[in-house]
Amino acid sequence: MSTPEHVEGRTFDVPPPQPPGVPRASVELSLAPHAAPHDEDAAEQEAGEIGPTGRVLRFTADPEPVARHGPAKILAICNQKGGVGKTTSTINLGASLAEYGRKVLLVDFDPQGALSVGLGIHPHQLDQTIYNVIMERAVGVQDVIMETGVEDMHLLPSNIDLSAAEIQLVSEVGREHTLVRTLRPVIDDYDYVLVDCQPSLGLLTVNALAAADGVLIPLECEFFSLRGVALLIDTIEKVRERLNPKLEITGIVATMYDPRTLHSREVMARVVEAFGDIVFDTVINRTVRFPETTVAGEPITKWAPRSAGAKAYRALAREVIAR
Ligand SMILES: Nc1ncnc2c1ncn2[C@@H]1O[C@H](COP(=O)(O)OP(=O)(O)OP(=O)(O)O)[C@@H](O)[C@H]1O
Ligand SMILES: [Mg+2]
């Protein structure tokens, strides 16, 4: 039972004190299972207008349906800076690609398991994850892939076990090509495989880059974000030279953009100046809707389908398909 506590006339529910040595149950957040009622029908940006990147928006038509699926294009969603929107972009880009009729596999390649959590899965309760596929010959990738709440979007989940793989792989032959070997049996079943990387440039991320056709870099519209990108691009170039000649930078997507602040607009201008055409026209605004979707355990395209955030990720999906 919780006891109310009074602070300056307001009442808060305070959990009772725990006896020493008893671990506290993890706090479960929950929201109503339905999309929030105040679904804003935000104005979509029209082709021909000047977009937030300062360039004229190009028109990206709705993609043609595909007649048959596969082989998949593998995209690593990568930035060694933490909290820039890698996982959010993986989930919502994946769901948008699935809405356009593409078959999508999301690979949780971060031992934190945030991608799995964001899809409503409790990764610590799973018997088998990507770790088992990587480390145990007897476990096939098909045995571990799960369905999600989005049709045609599947998940290869991970949990904290994956952090052990990073250490165990160091002494393996061909350690950088572990992920590509893992994905090979299912590559023909999907149109896109999106790999959500951890915030580091360690062996797991190098595996993702060695497996990928392209890298998608989410970049938070914040001054310090620019600092790490040179190192990331340097790493991508090394992987291209030494491990994976087909690797390209698919694009940079600006995230957490706040059009009301001069700071966001200045950072955006610097990003476009530095990286030019690889910056997607689509920019993801900062909105509380994204943290809400994590709690809800579903993509924004389902949670708030008509919101500006859902429209932005659909626009990003159209650009990704067109590139
Ligand atoms: N456009 C956005 N506006 C507001 N909040 C956002 C936006 N995108 C993501 N977030 C929130 O910011 C936090 C970090 O996002 P996310 O987990 O996607 O980043 P990440 O790069 O995967 O982080 P990590 O490096 O820890 O893996 C989350 O709470 C997420 O809900
Ligand atoms: Mg993440």
The string of pLDDT tens digits covering residues 12-46 is 343 444 444 444 434 455 555 444 444 454 456 67
Q: Give CA angle at 231 (225, 237), nearest 5°.
A: 130
Instruction: Sketch out the chain's domains with CATH numbers.
Output: 70-322 (3.40.50.300)
DSSP 143: H
Q: Is 183 in the pocket of ligand 1 (CB under 6 A)?
A: no
DSSP 50: B
Which alpha helices (H) appear in the chain, and where do they start and end?
A: 86-99, 114-118, 130-135, 141-144, 162-168, 178-183, 203-211, 225-242, 262-275, 289-296, 300-303, 308-322
Q: Is 53 in the pocket of ligand 1 (CB under 6 A)?
A: no
Residue whose Cα lies nearest atom 16 of ligand 1: it is 85
Mutate which of 280, 282, 290, 292 for ligand 1 pocket (most atoms within 8 A of beta carbon): 290
User: What is the pLDDT, as a whole number, of residue 9?
Assistant: 39
pTM of the model: 0.88
Nearest C-alpha neighbor of 150 from the set 192, 64, 68, 92? 92
Name the token pair of 10. 């307001």
pLDDT band for position 224 (cuts 50, 70, 90): confident
Q: Which ligand has an atom closest to residue 92 CA?
A: 1
Mean pLDDT across the chain, nearest whole number?
Answer: 87
SS3 content of the chain, % helix, strand, coil (to 5): 40, 15, 45
The string of pLDDT tens digits covering residues 119-177 is 999 999 999 999 999 999 899 999 999 999 999 999 999 999 999 999 999 998 899 99
Does residue 258 come out as left (phi exceeding 0), alpha (psi in the -120 to 50 range) or beta? Answer: beta
DSSP 25: P
Q: How far is the CA of 127 from the centre of ligand 2 (A)?
A: 22
Nearest C-alpha neighbor of 316 from the set 137, 148, 94, 134? 94
Distance, in Å, from the CA atom of 262 to the CA atom of 131, rounded to the nearest integer, reads: 44
